[in-house]
Structure 1
Amino acid sequence: MNNNTKTTDPKKFLFISWDALICDIAWRILKEGHEVKFYIRNPIDKDVADGFIQKVNKWEDHVDWADIIICDDVLGQGSIAKDLRDKGKLVIGGSPYTDRLEDDRAFGQEELKKFGINIISYQDFRSFDDAIDFVKKNPGRYVIKPSGEAENLKGLLFVGEEEDGKDVLQVLNDYNKAWASKIPEFQLQKRVLGVEIAVGAFFDGKEFIYPINVNFEHKKLYPGNLGPSTGEMGTTMFWS
């Protein structure tokens, strides 16, 4: 749909967002002639898209108003989406199962394994001391991956470079001092060199909708694959 096309069947869209991840789509839908209301939970993100779309302070007050409700994240949004579907609302979003796939790294890995997909060797930890002891006994290059809500703090993901694991040990010690209360669970994954590819498609509850998106994320802050990891600095993508 081009920028000048207006819908002949306007709907009312309610967006429920934790971190203002989907403001651009909400703005596009508004430009197409639909009505849009937008809720943002995270206080530090509440000013994102100010002046572009109408904000609301409590999404629950606008459920009856909405024709379509969109939940753009995990961390409990799948349960919200399910509850709204059970009440007869049209919802675009996840489910408790898809939330767990994203939020619980070990569960997601084991689900992949269950369906015949090769996974990288990993260990789950709830104690930094235990992880430090593990690396000392099994030196090597590891990736530190926080689980749960801490996954959103992309700067905490650390990719080890040293074969003896000393850089990973240093970071684990630092996290133990400064981040232990914020990272109750994390994963050490054996580092594997190669090109990371993501494959995704929308799912309508019964089958996947084509085309399929294939993308290559660039996460490092600086050119040359240098610097800390970010959410994404850029992405190259193709469509089936």
Structure 2
Amino acid sequence: MKILLLGSGGREHAMAWKMSQSPLVETLYVLPGNDGMTSLDKVSKLSGSVTDVPLIVETSIDLGIDLVVVGPENPLSEGVANALEEKGINVFGPSRQAAQLESSKVFSKNFMVEYDIPTARALIFDNFADAKAAMERWDVTQGIVIKADELAAGKGVVVTKDRAEAEKTLFDFMENPDCTVNTKKVLLEEMLMGKEVSAFAICDGEDFISLGYACDYKRVGNGDTGPNTGGMGGYSPKNWPSNTIKSFVDEKVFKTVLRGMKEMGMPFKGILFAGLMVDGEVAKVIEFNVRLGDPEAQILLPLVEGDLVPTLLSAAQGKLSELGSKVIKLKPETSVHIVMASGGYPSTDGTKMDLGNEITYPQDLLPGVEDKNNFIFLAGAKKSADGPLVNSGGRVLGVTALGPELEGARKLAYQTLKDVSFKGAHWRTDIGL
């Protein structure tokens, strides 16, 4: 098989590593990929943008690609799956219409209300004046969640109990041209209480296979302080959520989404990522995403036992029910992932990031074919003109470690982190506590 993987982050490094292990794979092309992926067997980098849909279709045809796997959300919202399927090319990822579960918070909220999927109460506004008036009547001391309707690279949601922060966020999202988040519509939601966890499912339009649960850390600083980021790390919880909650999520969330999307004429194929708030034995959906998370991919994929490729291909073809003994399973271990970020990240206040610094790390930490319990996945890193790897983005790399229990996995992850360094690097020290 020839596979084309779209994306360049730590998520895609983990996906490329897992897929390259398949005996079915002859060549795994990554577009654009990153310099960490080139150490993997069978992997070849291609230049181009993940949102250049005509290029992706042309490349897939020219190379005789058997399966396209989409990493990030942007190409999905641009309709890359639609364009590929029109040419008869298998693609693991939802259509532009189905991708609205992530690309439009308004669509997603209305869908959840329509299909009675438990979620936070919300008000939706398409102009700043009405939203501001509603916020003035809101008891912000009880908490408020401000959500941009459109994609915002993980930075379009702010949760606060501070009125000044809430009002500034609303203004920035809807009126401030200098803000990196710009939206025409906004949601004001009640703040849910409990513990957050994300659930993942591989879907084929009718059926699904669970890919497990992960808890991530969005804010840049220890104790959930500072601005939101794309994710500073996370872990796979063991023996939580309860089996009752997991059954509820399977029946009331995943099955309901698949049924509802099919009824709406936009069957959902790909990864369905449900962000949940769990309070005791009650779970509510915070949001949906339509791809693997980053860092959740780096947490969960190392736990997958078996060949991932047949499952992805079967999902793309609508044939998960035919997998039989080829179905993937998850190891009975836990996984911890810690992100190392560049100085200045997430630079929400315009702070310039400290880039171009050499990264030192043991070469054997890069994932390969051997079975081991600790490794690094590269993201915002590239080879410099004179050879060494340097940091080139906000989230530079992440360390993943596995263990029978959370404490052991966490200890191994932080021990491994000591062997990796670059100027200005920072990370959270409370992942998994």
Normalising by the residue count of structure 2, what TM-score does the alignment of the two structures yield? Answer: 0.45
Letter in 1 for 2:58: D
Greater displacement, 88-97 / 99-108: 88-97
Is residue 63 of structure 1 aligned with residue 65 of structure 2? no
Is residue 118 of structure 1 aligned with residue 108 of structure 2? no
In the superposition, relative to structure 1, how do residues 157 and 225 fare at CA in structure 2: closer, same or farther (>3 Å)? same
Residue equivalent to 1:145:
147
Q: Could you tell me the percent identity over the aligned residues? A: 20
Residue equivalent to 1:172:
170
Q: How does 1:18-37 map to 2 (within 5 A)?
A: 21-30=11-20, 32=22, 34-37=26-29
Preserved contact between residue 148 and residue 182 of structure 2 (Cα < 8 Å)? no
Residue equivalent to 1:17:
7
In the superposition, relative to structure 1, how do residues 172 and 109 fare at CA in structure 2: closer, same or farther (>3 Å)? closer
Alignment partner of 1:149: what SS?
coil
Residue equivalent to 2:30:
38
Report the alpha carbon displacement of residue 181 of structure 1 after superposing the two structures with TM: 8.1
Preserved contact between residue 8 and residue 34 of structure 2 (Cα < 8 Å)? no
Report the alpha carbon displacement of residue 101 of structure 1 after superposing the two structures with TM: 0.8
Is residue 224 of structure 1 aligned with residue 223 of structure 2? yes
Is residue 107 of structure 1 aligned with residue 107 of structure 2? yes
Preserved contact between residue 127 and residue 185 of structure 2 (Cα < 8 Å)? yes
Cα distance in 2 for residues equivalent to 1:115 and 1:124:
18
Greater displacement, 17-26 / 130-139: 17-26
Alignment partner of 2:184: what SS?
coil
Gaps of 5+ in 2: 49-54, 238-329, 333-433
- Paired residues in the alignment total 220
In the superposition, relative to structure 1, how do residues 110 and 81 fare at CA in structure 2: closer, same or farther (>3 Å)? same
Greater displacement, 220-229 / 51-60: 51-60
Greater displacement, 82-91 / 216-225: 82-91
Letter in 1 for 2:45: Q
Cα distance in 2 for residues equivalent to 1:181 and 1:193:
26
- Asked which structure has the greater RCO (Cα within 8 Å, sep 6+), the reply is 2
| CA deviation profile, 1:128-154 (whole Å, cap 9, x unmatched) | 33322221133322112122232x152
Alignment partner of 1:107: what SS?
helix
Preserved contact between residue 145 and residue 188 of structure 1 (Cα < 8 Å)? yes
Normalising by the residue count of structure 1, what TM-score does the alignment of the two structures yield? Answer: 0.77
| CA deviation profile, 1:16-68 (whole Å, cap 9, x unmatched) | 3387842332244345563122224xxxxx75647444123332332122111
Report the alpha carbon displacement of residue 96 of structure 1 after superposing the two structures with TM: 2.7
Alignment partner of 2:183: what SS?
coil
In the superposition, relative to structure 1, how do residues 120 and 93 fare at CA in structure 2: closer, same or farther (>3 Å)? same
Alignment partner of 1:97: what SS?
coil
Cα distance in 1 for residues equivalent to 2:20 and 2:74:
26
Cα distance in 1 for residues equivalent to 2:18 and 2:181:
39
Report the alpha carbon displacement of residue 69 of structure 1 after superposing the two structures with TM: 1.0
Please, what is the CA RMSD of the aligned residues? 2.9
In the superposition, relative to structure 1, how do residues 230 and 181 fare at CA in structure 2: closer, same or farther (>3 Å)? closer
